[in-house]
Amino acid sequence: MGKLQKIRDYQKLHGTKKTVNWLYNNVKYRAQKLRSKPIEFDYDKTVLEGCLEKTKGNVFIFGTVPFYDIGGGQRSAQMARIYNQLGYKVFYLFAFDSSETKKFKLDITCVMHKGIKNVKVEDLEQYVNKDDLVFFEAPYRGFKDYVLMFKEKGAKIIYENIDNWESHLGNQVFDADTLKLILENANLLTATAIPLVEQLKVYLKRFDLKAKVLYNPNAVNDELFNPLKPYTEPNDLKTGSKTLLYYGSLWGDWFDWDLLCSIASNNPDIAINLIGDASSVDKTKMPANIYFLGLKRQSDLPAYLAYSDYAILPFKPDNIGKYVSPLKLFEYIAMHKKVIATPLPDILDYPNLYIGSDAKEWQKILNNKKKVNIFLADDFIKDNIWYKRCLDIIENISSKNVKKCLPKFYDNISIVVLNHNNSNVIFRCVDTLLKFKERYNYEIIVVDNASSDGSKEKLAKVYKKQIKLIANPQNGCSSGRNLGVLNATKDYIVFLDSDQWILHKYWLDNYLDIYSKALNVGAIAWGAGWFDDYGHSYRFVDNYAYRYMPPAIQARCDIGYLATCGFMIEKKLFNQIEGFDEAYDPTCYEDTDLALKVRHSGKEIYYSDLLGVGHLPHQTTGAGSSAHDKLILEKGNYFVSKWKKINPDLLKYKK
């Protein structure tokens, strides 16, 4: 029995909305089944047919632990993820296997992920090119031979001073000879905390060396830690009159158990939730309202924060604690939490942070009903995301200071964004477009689709002549985008959704690179999918590991259609194929139809998720409502009927 017949039979019994839910759950199940397998890549030179390989360069990260340690939340994993998204091939080598009691199966965004005991220097050498970036996050003696090889190959060496390795943390890690070797050959030194900057200066003086030291603290993935997203309350989160949360390491002697136990004992009505490996903790000595939830993936943590009243950081400011740049603190702040912490040197001026040295001071903070300042938090996070950290390193180590993109595209791109009652998201979209405009000098066109929430008037007042604001008398994705292109004065068009935002100053570079080198390119997009047996849009890239973009790949054309949430096309081609079909208004299938128009014209469509945008899903379409479900079926049937007449072969690209 075909899928469509199954759907129709199901619909007769359960109705339209349940049909769509059934489809969603079916796809979700398949995605979960796919993701239940461990995901790791071991790089080889083979590139899949129909794919473009990344050519920007390589990044080698030598960490102390694997990518999946701490649920994928540590600095080296964050940097691997970002450099992968910036278009680099990332090789991740680690000194020690994870000692955690639970090891997560994650999508590891690296072309190689191995312990150094399994990789010979000569095996790795074949992949190294001049000016590749190499990160060492500890002076581990096992890294010595690699340092010399990378220096000989002309790679750029960065030493990251992330902890006080001269404390007991460095018992298996710190080697003075290796530290001297790395410092002698490094092109850049970074330190994650101010005391660690001073420590590096001491080392340089000790070894009679001179080098640049960059203060580069930890940061946040604001795509993941987004307070605007809807979250389901975790089943194991314990709540009380006040719900407190901490996640991270629980085994170190820098963790102030006395402080935490005192707060718990004096406030039996509150709940203190601790996430992390607590296998070394004697839980029998703990108050009953301290709850140990075990290890979690980093991707699980925002939901726990969303349903907590306070996030806490009970670290002793000792010879370990005072050297810390707490990664979790940026995540706490991003989720608009009131944070209670001990006085660590690096964090004293952070927003929504309340400092207390002892239980008495923490108690006063708990009794304080002052609300979180969301504006301060959001403003702080804009300058403390991982993209900024990684780009700061690139710009401090590179001799090139290119402020403009390729001449073909500079001052030659129009960005078209639709707005329909999206006052909660459209301003972040436009703010970030303006913030990261310098490299491309694009024009920004916002088409307002008959908004009634006052957002059109506010857009006009806030941005004035910084954007072109066009009024569409109806709410239509096709008619609105056509109107945007009609008012565009540039040769290239980029469509964004209002629930997307720009992440960094080089956000369009990968797309422009693809346009410059791909054969017969007609369009590129950040979303894509395939058809079912009957030609309906079916499987989307979100259902696959890496969003169907393996870490060595820049773009691929083995897809059926593209989505317009980050879609680039030449204006000349857009006009040649007569733009969007306005029969799809108000929404659904208009982007699928446009992609097939591109393919029908003889051009190729490429999918790449290496566009520097964040996305807050389902803010613009009303997905899940009965009206939207009805539109999906109605416009889907029109789409299939139309293309069966024009070119039915284009409906056969399945996955």
pLDDT digits (tens, 9 = 90+) for 576-603: 999 999 999 998 999 999 999 999 999 9
pTM above 0.85, yes or no: yes
Q: What does the alpha-carbon distance between residue 596 and residue 508 come to, in Å, rounded to a whole number?
A: 24
Q: Are 135 and 79 in contact (CB under 8 A)?
A: yes
Average pLDDT over residues 211-237: 95
Average pLDDT over residues 209-231: 94
Which one has a higher pLDDT value, 486 or 36?
A: 486
Q: Are 351 and 373 in contact (CB under 8 A)?
A: yes
Beta bridge pairs of residue 555: 52
Q: What does the alpha-carbon distance between residue 75 and residue 416 come to, in Å, rounded to a whole number?
A: 35
Which one has a higher pLDDT value, 29 or 391?
A: 391
Residue 643 has phi, psi (to 5 degrees) of -80, -20
Q: Is 259 left (phi over 0), alpha (psi -120 to 50) or beta?
A: alpha
Q: What does the alpha-carbon distance between residue 16 and residue 10 come to, in Å, rounded to a whole number?
A: 9
| Lowest-pLDDT choice from 263-277, 352-366, 531-545, 550-564 | 531-545
Categorize the per-residue pLDDT at 399 as very low, low, confident or very high, splitting at 50, 70 and 90.
Answer: low
Residue 91 has phi, psi (to 5 degrees) of -110, 125
Burial class (CB in 10 A: 0-12, 13-18, 19+), 207: middle
Sign of torsion over alpha carbons 508, 509, 511, 512: positive
Can the peptide bond before residue 586 be classed as cis, meaning omega within 30 degrees of 0?
yes
Burial class (CB in 10 A: 0-12, 13-18, 19+), 510: buried
Burial class (CB in 10 A: 0-12, 13-18, 19+), 396: middle
Predicted local confidence at residue 7, as pLDDT: 40
Helical H segments across 368-418, by residue range? 374-382, 386-397
User: Nearest-CA neighbor of 584 among 651, 642, 498, 528?
Assistant: 642
Note the pLDDT tens digit of each residue in 17-74. Answer: 333 333 333 333 333 333 333 344 444 444 466 789 999 999 999 999 999 998 999 9
Domains by residue range for the chain, with CATH: 3-35 (no CATH), 51-215 (3.40.50.2000), 243-380 (3.40.50.2000), 405-652 (3.90.550.10)
**By three-state DSSP, how is residue 601 classified?**
coil
Categorize the per-residue pLDDT at 572 as very low, low, confident or very high, splitting at 50, 70 and 90.
Answer: very high
Q: Which residues 6+ apart lie within 8 Å of 191 measured at CB?
A: 160, 161, 162, 197, 199, 200, 213, 214, 215, 216
Q: Is 311 left (phi over 0), alpha (psi -120 to 50) or beta?
A: beta
Q: What does the alpha-carbon distance between residue 574 and residue 522 come to, in Å, rounded to a whole number?
A: 9
DSSP state of 602: T
Predicted local confidence at residue 51, as pLDDT: 87
Predicted local confidence at residue 14, as pLDDT: 37
User: Nearest-CA neighbor of 289 among 308, 320, 251, 263?
Assistant: 263
